[in-house]
Homo-oligomer: A and B are copies of this chain.
């Protein structure tokens, strides 16, 4: 069972808006066993919309489109759909009453433009929108289902969740697709691929597929297959276990878990706390730890010791060590880690000091040289990174991930 998604709007094509609707719809459809074959973003133009609908409906049984249903004049989807399905707009009294009530409630004047939103195609089934003014619409032709939705993500998600997906599950006989995502950190895709090559080749006999999903510092591995007899879940689990056996040291989590979320979960379970002393990562690790709601249970805070003066005055790094070895050194980063832990009275700490670039590198310490350290009451451990990026943002991001991972490996597992 295949579907296509068509997102409509000039703003998508000139890069004003990133299309996040398609990814959300694609993910939700895959969970109910519908596979997205293609996503197309097209202009607000009648001919273009009709051509895209024709092409998509020749390839798949379900076409979901978003955008072009708002009250303003550049939104022409509704009129185009009437033409395409050979129907006409009629005033929907129930919808009109809802709209009036809604505008009254929010004390907004009810204009002609708003009233036009109660004009809906005669031949469609209406999908209710409890979060906004534009209705969803369900059309059928030659056994193909077409669903049209407003482009506002919050409204689109509400309509599909409340009405669209339940009706799709009823309407189509869909296969049950199962996915399992394994998250790795700190190892390049090519090394992973080589390590798991034999295992990967064996997946075919269970009709399973593997996808590599890399991002800076990380690679996600996704195993997926169609469950025809209700017996696939344990097979996928078994294969995931084999994978863990092969590359377990690189695996930090699964599914949607971020590294900072996993660390937060482990610290919360252990009722232990952490502090930070960041130089080259400049607050990025703190920002990532605080991105998780509930982090106040384990994250006490940190010192962003960007200037050497702050390393001396607040973190009490030895002036001699700083002068002799420089700020980007084992000695300094280890003192940063152990001193911030004592200063903020936490169980653990992480520290970073490096050359993020693009300038500031030397022959001895080129851009990408980063020292990371982690500390507990028992021991302080450090590691030197030589990151291959001549890019400040990337060096900061990857150094942060590696420092978090060093902490996880040394103290949480």
The residue that A113 contacts in the complex, of B15, B105, B193, with Cβ under 8 A, is B193
Q: Is A332 an interface residue (CB 8 A)?
A: no
Tell me the nearest residue of chain B to A39, going by C-beta.
Answer: B41
The residue that A293 contacts in the complex, of B179, B285, B392, with Cβ under 8 A, is B392
Whether B307 and A301, one on each chain, are in contact in the complex, defined by CB atoms closer than 8 angstroms, is: yes
- Contacts of A287 on B, CB cut-off 8 Å? 282-284, 286-287, 396
- Contacts of A14 on B, CB cut-off 8 Å? 26-27, 30, 35-36, 179, 211
Smallest CB–CB gap between A295 and chain B, Å?
7
Whether A310 and B304, one on each chain, are in contact in the complex, defined by CB atoms closer than 8 angstroms, is: no
- Contacts of A181 on B, CB cut-off 8 Å? 16
**Segment 188-241 of A: residues with Cβ below 8 Å from B:** 188-191, 193-194, 210-214, 216, 220, 222
Whether A102 and B302, one on each chain, are in contact in the complex, defined by CB atoms closer than 8 angstroms, is: no
The residue that A74 contacts in the complex, of B20, B74, B191, B212, with Cβ under 8 A, is B212
Give this chain's copy count: 2
Contacts A40-B38, A303-B303; A211 near B73 (Cβ below 8 A) = no
Can you sample 5 A-B contacts with CB below 8 Å?
A15-B24, A19-B39, A70-B214, A287-B287, A293-B392
Interface of A is mostly: mixed
Q: Is A169 an interface residue (CB 8 A)?
A: no
Whether B15 and A30, one on each chain, are in contact in the complex, defined by CB atoms closer than 8 angstroms, is: yes
The chain A residues found within 8 Å of chain B, CB to CB, are: 10-20, 22-28, 30, 35-43, 48, 52, 55, 70-74, 102, 105-109, 111, 113-114, 130-131, 152, 154, 179, 181, 188-191, 193-194, 210-214, 216, 220, 222, 276, 278, 281-287, 289-291, 293-296, 299-307, 309-310, 313-314, 343-345, 356-359, 386, 388-394, 396
Q: How far is the CA of A113 from the CA of B357 in the complex (A)?
A: 30
The residue that A111 contacts in the complex, of B194, B283, B391, with Cβ under 8 A, is B194
Q: How far is the CA of A291 from the CA of B284 in the complex (A)?
A: 10
Contacts A13-B38, A131-B389; A189 near B72 (Cβ below 8 A) = yes
Tell me the nearest residue of chain B to A154, going by C-beta.
Answer: B394
Tell me the nearest residue of chain B to A19, going by C-beta.
Answer: B19
Whether B304 and A108, one on each chain, are in contact in the complex, defined by CB atoms closer than 8 angstroms, is: no
The residue that A22 contacts in the complex, of B19, B210, B306, with Cβ under 8 A, is B19
Q: How far is the CA of A71 from the CA of B386 in the complex (A)?
A: 22
The residue that A299 contacts in the complex, of B36, B41, B190, B306, with Cβ under 8 A, is B306
Whether B302 and A307, one on each chain, are in contact in the complex, defined by CB atoms closer than 8 angstroms, is: no
Smallest CB–CB gap between A192 and chain B, Å?
8
Beyond contacts A14-B27, A111-B194: 17 other A-B pairs, Cβ-Cβ < 8 A, are A14-B179, A15-B25, A18-B20, A38-B43, A39-B40, A39-B41, A72-B212, A73-B193, A74-B211, A283-B287, A283-B302, A286-B304, A286-B306, A290-B356, A291-B396, A299-B306, A303-B304
- Contacts of A23 on B, CB cut-off 8 Å? 12, 15-19
Q: How far is the CA of A266 from the CA of B15 in the complex (A)?
A: 28
Whether A386 and B106, one on each chain, are in contact in the complex, defined by CB atoms closer than 8 angstroms, is: yes
- Contacts of A130 on B, CB cut-off 8 Å? 390
Whether B306 and A310, one on each chain, are in contact in the complex, defined by CB atoms closer than 8 angstroms, is: no
Whether A190 and B290, one on each chain, are in contact in the complex, defined by CB atoms closer than 8 angstroms, is: no
Whether A70 and B189, one on each chain, are in contact in the complex, defined by CB atoms closer than 8 angstroms, is: yes
Tell me the nearest residue of chain B to A107, going by C-beta.
Answer: B386
Whether B211 and A293, one on each chain, are in contact in the complex, defined by CB atoms closer than 8 angstroms, is: no
Tell me the nearest residue of chain B to A291, going by C-beta.
Answer: B393
The residue that A35 contacts in the complex, of B13, B35, B284, B392, with Cβ under 8 A, is B13
The residue that A343 contacts in the complex, of B28, B314, B357, with Cβ under 8 A, is B314
- Contacts of A190 on B, CB cut-off 8 Å? 71-72, 111, 113-114
